Amino acid sequence: MHRKRILSGIQPSGNLHLGNYFGMMKRMIEYQETNELFCFLVNYHAITTITNSELLRQNTFKAACDFLALGLDPDKAIFWVQSDVPEVTELTWLLNNTTSIGLLERAHSYKDKIAKGFRPNHGLFSYPVLMAADILLFGGEAVPVGKDQKQHLEITRDIAIRFNKTFGETFIIPESLIENDTGLIPGIDGQKMSKSYKNTIEIFCEKDVLAKKVMSIITDKTPIDEPKETENSTLFQVYSLFLNDEDKKELEDRFRTPGLEYGKVKKELIEIIWNYFNPYRIKREELLNDKFYVVKILKEGAEKARSVGKSFLELARKNVGLNYQE
């Protein structure tokens, strides 16, 4: 049976949080058992918003440690840092020519950033083209991303289809893999969990920081002796991330039964989150202290990725006519 090539990247733009974990990391770690898995840290993308070089270096290394600590296995998956395969920037240039400006102007994430007051640079504008190159260079067939990235995936497909039409069959057209139940993970204020909204719960933080964040999850003003809503409850949604169907049903019943105190539920949730990630904390500390080993894994991953990328890039170069010597 054909094992689909699954590929996805994550920005090392800050400490990784529950949105990153449930939206992408956890699923990627599961896919390594059943699929051909390509996983990378997109530091070229991160420089569209981070201008502190030391911070970028640290975030990239920490994100690698987080992923490995949580179970990404370099013997099963190809794992690397985007800038270690600089061919992706060459492909970006080729793809620029089959990307319409209008397509990029319609990108929600670009429009959001501008609305938030970012002074847009060209890097931010062409972010989706680099993302398309990330996917197309390695022949990714399926891309697990959070709901917020769906439009970026559509842009990738559009660019690839147009490239194939213009220059001849070159790229595989990828599909997005979005799971409904983990489609959108809310942050403590109820909006999508995102570093730029400052509403994240980090995967690895001190327990008092975790407690403070969980205690400040937004709740409604339903009196204690009335049944509580689950549908639009951020607390219920975040708690559910850690439950199987049966336990989720039980929590739903508790919410519906008068008497439930949000404060008590939050205290439980602190322990649940802490215990869930506890087994990975020691491993993460070890990795943070063993830079040599982590870098070796990333460099080996980059070599493997590069050898796959080379053939797609060669074909693209030939199809646009850069092979003048022939």
Q: In the bound complex, what is the minimum distance in angstroms from residue 110's beta carbon to ligand TRP?
A: 11
Q: Name the residue number minimizing CB distance to ligand TRP.
A: 9
When the beta carbons of 195 and 213 are compared against ligand TRP, the nearer one is: 195
The 3-class secondary structure across 94-110, one letter per residue, is HHHCCCCHHHHHCCHHH
When the beta carbons of 64 and 269 are compared against ligand TRP, the nearer one is: 64
When the beta carbons of 153 and 211 are compared against ligand TRP, the nearer one is: 153
CA dist 202 to 169, 191, 225, Å?
43, 16, 32
Only one of the segments 4-12, 194-202, 246-254, 288-296 lies at the binding site for ligand TRP (rule: CB under 6 A); that segment is 4-12
Q: In the bound complex, what is the minimum distance in angstroms from residue 272's beta carbon to ligand TRP?
A: 26
Instruction: Tell me 193's DSSP state.
Output: P
Q: In the bound complex, what is the minimum distance in angstroms from residue 222's beta carbon to ligand TRP?
A: 34
Name the amino acid, one letter, at 120.
P
Q: In the bound complex, what is the minimum distance in angstroms from residue 154's beta carbon to ligand TRP?
A: 13
Of residues 293-322, which lie at the interface with ligand TRP (CB under 6 A)?
none
SS3 at position 176: strand
| Of 45, 68, 33, 14, nearest in space to 301 by CA | 68
Q: Are 200 and 18 in contact (CB under 8 A)?
A: yes
192 binds ligand TRP (CB under 6 A): no
In a 13 Å sphere around the CA of 324, the CA atoms on its Cβ side amount to 1
Give dist(CA 16, CA 315) in Å, integer.
Answer: 36
When the beta carbons of 44 and 277 are compared against ligand TRP, the nearer one is: 44
| Of 126, 213, 144, 218, nearest in space to 182 by CA | 144
Q: Are 103 and 158 in contact (CB under 8 A)?
A: yes
8: enclosing H helix or E strand: strand 5-10
Quickly count: other Cβ atoms within 10 Å of residue 321's Cβ.
Answer: 9
Only one of the segments 127-135, 182-190, 208-216, 224-232 lies at the binding site for ligand TRP (rule: CB under 6 A); that segment is 127-135
Give dist(CA 76, CA 38) in Å, integer.
Answer: 10
Instruction: Tell me 118's DSSP state.
Output: -
When the beta carbons of 142 and 288 are compared against ligand TRP, the nearer one is: 142
Of residues 6-25, which lie at the interface with ligand TRP (CB under 6 A)?
8-11
Output phi, psi for 176, to 5 deg.
-90, 145
When the beta carbons of 183 and 259 are compared against ligand TRP, the nearer one is: 183
Q: In the bound complex, what is the minimum distance in angstroms from residue 133's beta carbon to ligand TRP?
A: 9
45 binds ligand TRP (CB under 6 A): yes
When the beta carbons of 92 and 319 are compared against ligand TRP, the nearer one is: 92
Catalytic residues: 113, 192, 195
Q: In the bound complex, what is the minimum distance in angstroms from residue 237's beta carbon to ligand TRP?
A: 20
Binding mask 74-113 for ligand TRP (x = CB under 6 A): ----------------------------------------
Q: In the bound complex, what is the minimum distance in angstroms from residue 131's beta carbon to ligand TRP?
A: 4
**What secondary structure does DSSP assign to 23-47, as a single string?**
IIIHHHHHHTTTSEEEEEE-HHHHT
Q: Which of 28, 107, 131, 316 binds ligand TRP (CB under 6 A)?
A: 131
Only one of the segments 30-38, 131-139, 230-238, 256-264 lies at the binding site for ligand TRP (rule: CB under 6 A); that segment is 131-139
Specify the residue for token string 């981070």.
50
Cβ-proximal residues to 30 (8 Å cutoff; 6+ apart), any chain:
none
Of residues 133-172, which lie at the interface with ligand TRP (CB under 6 A)?
134-135, 143, 145, 149, 152
Quickly count: other Cβ atoms within 10 Å of residue 112's Cβ.
Answer: 13
Residues that bind ligand TRP (CB under 6 A): 8-11, 42, 45, 131, 134-135, 143, 145, 149, 152
